[in-house]
Amino acid sequence: MAQYVALVADMTGRYAHVLVIANTWDNVISQLEDAGCEVVEDQTEDYEVEDFKDKESMQEVGLWSISDLISKTNFVSYN
């Protein structure tokens, strides 16, 4: 498994960066689309993903997990 960073948009056009653990970029897209996100692009190369071991380190740079994006923000799903 690898860590990926995706730029996503919600139904209102707001953007967020999401850290996803998956086998391939295609799996990342599937997970995010299943959660109701529009996947804009892969931004993994812009981050040192190995540095993100916990939620605090992710929050410092504005990254969300899929579950936190949906439950702790005003994200509006496409579903």
pLDDT per position as a tens digit, 1-24: 999 999 999 999 999 999 999 999
Mean pLDDT across the chain? 94
Contact (CB, 8 A) for 49 and 3: yes
CA-CA distances (angstroms) from residue 57 to 34, 40, 67, 72?
26, 23, 16, 17
pTM above 0.95, yes or no: no
- State the distance between the two ends of the chain, measured CA to CA, in whole angstroms: 27
The SS3 call for residue 79 is coil
Would you call 41 exposed, middle or buried from its count of C-beta atoms within 10 A (0-12, 13-18, 19+)?
exposed
